[in-house]
Structure 1
Amino acid sequence: MFRRRMLFQSISDLIEELREEVDRLTSLIEEFDEPMWDARECCLTPLSSIRDLGDEYEVVVDLPLVDKGKINVYVEGEDALKVEAEIKEKVKFERWGTIQRSTEFSRYRKVIRFPEPLDPTSLRVSFKQGFLIVRVRKA
C-alpha cells in the first residue's frame, strides 16, 4: 500500500512539473503572437533574446539606426523590462497590406515580461554596434 501511494505521488509530481513546463513554453510562444509593429503609435517591436544566467538575466535587443543617447530602459512593475528608443531616420513601409498603404515608424518599443520579480537597482546597460545589452538581477 505504501509503495502504491509513493508511486501515485511520484506520478502526480511529474504531472505538475509537466504542467509548469507547458505553461513556460506557452508564454514563450505567445511572445511571437504579437505583431512586430504598432501603426497607431508609429513604433516597431525590435527583435530580442533573453538568457537566464542564474541570479540575473541578460537581454540583447537589436536596435539598428539608433543613437545611444536616445534609448530608455527601465523596469516596469515588478517583472517587466521596458525598452524605448528613437530611430534616427524614419522607417517607411508602403503598400504592405489592405488597410495600411503607407506607414512611417519613428521609434522602437518592447516590453519583456519575466517569470519572477526583477531588481530595478541592478540594471546595467551597454550599447554596441546597434545591440543593446541589458543585465538585471532577479529580486
Structure 2
Amino acid sequence: MTTARTPVPEAARHLGLRERKKLRTRMAIREATYSLIKEQGYEATTVEQIADRAEVSPSTVFRYFPAKEDIVLTDEYDPLLEELLRQRPADEPVLESLRWAFREAMTTALTDNPAHEREETILRA
C-alpha cells in the first residue's frame, strides 16, 4: 500500500502507530491529488482517480476529507499551527503571535518535506 512508503513529518513522530498510519494515508491521498492535478487539472481529477492513485477506496478518501476541495485546502500542519499559537503568551499582540507561529510551522514543514513548497507553488500557477 502506498501509505507505507509515505514519510511522516518529523513533528508527528511522537504519535502512536495508529495515528501515524492515519497521517500516512492522508498524505498519500494528498500526494496523489497533487500529482493528478498537475497532470490533468483540478476539474478533470475525480475522487475515484485519487483513490486509485493513493491505493485506497473512494470511501476512504471521503473518510479523511469530506470533499475533494478539502484535500487541497488543508494540510498536516494545521494542528501544529494551532498548538504553536496556544503556546504564545496571552498578552502578546495577535499579529506577533501569528507571525511567530507561521514562521515556526513553515520551518517545520520545509524541514520535513522541502518538495511540499514546490508542489504547492505549481498548484497555484
TM-score (norm 2): 0.26
Which of the pair is proportionally richer in helix? 2
Which of the pair is proportionally richer in strand? 1
Larger Rg: 1
TM-score (norm 1): 0.24
